[in-house]
A and B are shown apart, each in its own frame.
Chain A
Amino acid sequence: MNQSNKTLNNNITKLVNQPYKYGFSTTIEKDILEKGLNEKIIRLLSKKKNEPKFLLDFRLKAYKKWKEMKCPEWAQLKFSEIDYQDIIYYSAPKVKKKLNSLDEVDPELLETFNKLGISLSEQKRLTNVAVDAVFDSVSIATTFKQELAEYGVIFSSISEAVHDYTGLIEKYLGTVVPIGDNYFSALNSAVFTDGSFCYIPKDVICPLDLSTYFRINDEKSGQFERTLIVAEENSQVSYLEGCTAPQYDNNQLHAAIVELIALDNATIKYSTVQNWYSGDQKGQGGVYNFVTKRGLCAGNFSKISWTQVETGSSITWKYPSCLLVGEGAQGEFYSVALTNNYQQADTGTKMIHIGKNTRSRIVSKGISAGNSKNTYRGFVGVNKKAIGARNYSQCDSLLIGNSSNSNTFPFISVQNPTTKIEHEASTSKIGEEQIFYFLQRGISIEKGIELMISGFCREVFTELPLEFASEADRLLSLKLEGSVG
C-alpha cells in the first residue's frame, strides 16, 4: 500500500470509528429463565405468559421443526457456531406489582429509554408517534393506546394481544411466515417472547405513526420478537422500528419475525432504523441479527413498502419481502446498509409476483467501509398467472477505503412473457482523489464524506417518515463524523 492510501485509510478509519453511543447497560432486577433450549423451557415460558393452548402447540411444533433443521449456509457470512444452549430465552425486568399506568413503570427503565431518545411519557405528544417499548423479552409500555382505540386501532404488545384479541392472533399468526419457513423463523416461533401487534380496521387511516423500540439489555439473553400488523380494507398505517443494544464482548442473538398483511386497497409502510451494537474495531462482540420479515399483499391494489436503514449488528441476515397476490398489488423495498470494521451484512428482498398487474420496486444502497462485507441478495419471481407484472431494481454500492467488500446477487425468475423487468446496478468508490477535491476546495473530510453519503442515500431517505429521516441522517453522520486532524 502506498503512502497516500495509508493516509486516506487512516483518515477514514478515524472518521468511521465513532464510539457507539448506546453501549450502556441498565442494572435492573430481572426475572429470568435458566439458560438453554428444550421443551421444558418452552412450556415454562408459555406458562409464565399464561398463554392459550393454541400458542403452546404452535411453539412446540416449531421447536420440533427447528430441531430437524440446519443453520443456512448460503449467505456470504462467516461467524462461529451459535450455542443455542448458552442463551437465555426469557429475561424480563421484575414487575413488582401490576401496572395501571405509565407512571408506575420502573423509573430506571423510563430513564433508559429517555437516554435512547425515546420518550415514553405520553404528555410529550409533540412527537406524534405511538411507541411500544420492548426491553429484552418483554414489552414494558405502549403509549397512546387509548387515543388509538377511539379509531378502532389496536396497538399493543403481542403478549397482551394474545389474551385480549386471541381470535385475531390465532387467525393470522404464522400465516405469512410459516413456522418451518427457515431455521431462524422456526426458532423464533418456538421461543418468541414479545413484540407488537397492530390492527387497523376497515376504512381507517391510522392517525399516528406506530413504532416499536427494541432494546437488548441482558448480556446472555437473546431477543426473539414477533410483530404482526394487519391492515383491513382501505386502511393505512405507517410503522417504525428502532433497535439498540449495549456494548458487550460476546455476541447476542436477535432472531425476529415480522408479518404484515394488507387487504384490499390497504397500505402498510414499514420503516426500520437498526443500530444494534456492531462489535468493536477488531470485530469482537456485536449482535447477530437474523430476521425474517415478510408482507402479504393479499388484497387487490394493496401496497406494502419496506424501508430500512441498517447500520448496526455484527451480522445482518435479513430480506424483507413481499408476496404480491392481489391484483394490482405493489411491493417496495428501499434499503441503506452501512457496514464498517468487521461487520457483515447480507440483506436484500424477495418480490414474488402472483397477481395480475402487480408491481415492485427495489432500491438498495450498500455502503462498506473498513474490513466489512456488504452483500445485496435479491429475488424477483414472476408467476405464470402474473400477467403484466413489472419490476424495477436498482442496486448501488459505495466502497470507502481499500479493504471493504461489496457483492450483489440479484436473482430473477420469470415465467410470464408479458413481464417487464428492469435492473440497474452500480459500484462506486469514495476515493482519494474525490476527497482531495473536497479538501482543495476547503471542505473538510467529514463534510465531504457526509455529503457524498447523503447524496448516495437520498432516494431511500426520502421514503422514511419525517421522524425517522432526521434520525437516520443523525445516525449516519454519527458513524461517519470524526476527529480528523
Chain B
Amino acid sequence: MTLNSPILEIKDLRASINNNEILKNLNLTINRGEIHAIMGPNGSGKSTFSKIIAGHPAYEVLSGDIIFKGASILDLDPEERSHLGIFLAFQYPIEIPGVSNEDFLRLAYNSKQKFLNKPEVDPIEFFTVINEKLKLVNMSSVFLSRNVNEGFSGGEKKRNEILQMILLESELSILDETDSGLDIDALKIISNGINTFMDANKAIILITHYQRLLDYIKPDYVHVMQNGKIIKTGTAELAKELEIKGYEWLS
C-alpha cells in the first residue's frame, strides 16, 4: 500500500433525512496516514456526515459518491462497510441491556475475523486478545462482564468506543465528539490510546467542538463545516483561530 493514497473520497455528496437536505455538495479527500478534524457550529451536518459514511438507514443519499479504498460503498450495508474497515465512534454510545460487553466485543471481533477468512476465537482465546487492548485505554477487565454501556459514565462509554476501534483494527475511524463530556484525565487516556493506534496505513476523522482535543491529537487538516458543506480548510492553526474568533467571521 502506498502512502498518501486516498482512503476516502467524498464527491459532491448530497444527502437528506425525512426530505430535509442536510449535506449539500460535500467534497473531501482523506489519505492514509492523515488525521482530519472537522469543526463547525451546531446543526452544520457533522454527525449526519459521520452516519452517512457508516451507512445509517435513516439517511438518503441524493447524489454524489463515497469512495472507500477505491470503490463506491453507497450500495453496501452498514455491516459490510464495518467489515471493510470503517468505524464510527458514536457521540452518544447506546446502552444494550442484557448483553455483556464481553459477548458483544467477541461477536464483533469474530464477525470481522470471519469476513477476513480468519478463524473465529473462543471466549478463552478472546480474553487474551481483549486484555491487551484494555490496557491501551486503561480499562479494567471488570468492564467486560458489565452490559454494553449500561450504567457506564460518560467517560467510560467513550473509552469503550475507542476500545472497539482498536479491537477491530479499523482503517478509517470517525470519532464523533469523542472528547465531549470528558475530564482532562480521561481526555489524556483516550488521546493516548488513539495516538498509539494511529499509523501510516490508517486515517482518522475527528469531529469536535473544542480545540482542546487537538492539543493531544495533532490533525494534519482542520475543516470547517457549515450548512452541509466544507467552507474552509486549514491546518491546526485554524482551530486555534476558531477558538478565539468563533465561526461567524467565516460566513
Same complex origin of A and B:
yes
Q: Is A458 a contact of B98 with CB atoms below 8 Å?
A: yes
B112: min CB distance to chain A, Å: 5
Chain A CB within 8 A of B250 CB: no
Which 10 pairs show the lowest CB-CB distances between chains A and B?
A455-B98, A4-B58, A439-B78, A442-B82, A441-B108, A7-B57, A442-B111, A455-B99, A456-B98, A439-B79
Other-chain residue from B55, B93, B96 in contact with A452 (beta carbon distance below 8 A): B96
A439 to B77, CA, bound (A): 8
A485 proximal to B (CB < 8 A): yes
> How long is the Cα–Cα vector from A101 to B55 in the complex, in angstroms?
62
Residue in B closest to A11 when the chains form the complex, CB atoms? B57
B18 CB → nearest A CB, Å: 5
Question: How many residues of B are counted as interface, with CB atoms below 8 angstroms from the partner's CB atoms?
Answer: 34
Give the contacts of B55-104 with A (CB-CB under 8 A).
55-60, 77-79, 82-83, 87-88, 90, 93-94, 96-100, 103-104
Total A-B contacts with CB atoms under 8 angstroms apart? 85
- Which residues of chain B from 150 to 170 have any CB-CB distance to chain A below 8 Å in the complex? 164, 168
Contact A452 B99 (CB under 8 A): yes
B115 at the interface (CB under 8 A from A): yes
Pair A451/B18 contact, Cβ less than 8 Å: no
C-alpha spacing A451/B93, complex, angstroms: 18
Which A residues are closer than 8 A to B by beta carbons? 2-4, 7-8, 428, 432-434, 436-437, 439-444, 447, 451-452, 454-456, 458, 485
Say yes or no: A451 contacts B58, CB within 8 Å: no
Q: What separation, in Å, do the CA atoms of A454 and B115 have in the docked complex?
A: 24
Q: Are A443 and B98 in contact (CB under 8 A)?
A: no
Q: Is the CB of B94 within 8 A of A434?
A: yes
Q: B107 contacts the other chain (Cβ, under 8 Å)?
A: yes
Contacts A2-B18, A443-B108, A485-B77; A428 near B168 (Cβ below 8 A): no
Q: Is the CB of A442 within 8 A of B96?
A: no
Complex CA–CA separation, A468 to B88 (angstroms): 40
Closest chain A residue to B54, Cβ basis: A440
18 contacts between A and B (CB under 8 A): A2-B18, A3-B18, A4-B58, A7-B57, A432-B57, A432-B58, A437-B94, A437-B96, A441-B168, A442-B82, A442-B168, A447-B107, A447-B111, A451-B103, A451-B107, A452-B99, A455-B96, A455-B100
Query: How far, in Å, is B159 (CB) from chain A's closest CB?
Result: 16
Chain A residues whose CB sits within 8 angstroms of the CB of B56 once the complex forms: 4, 436
Are the CB atoms of B98 and A436 closer together than 8 Å?
Answer: no
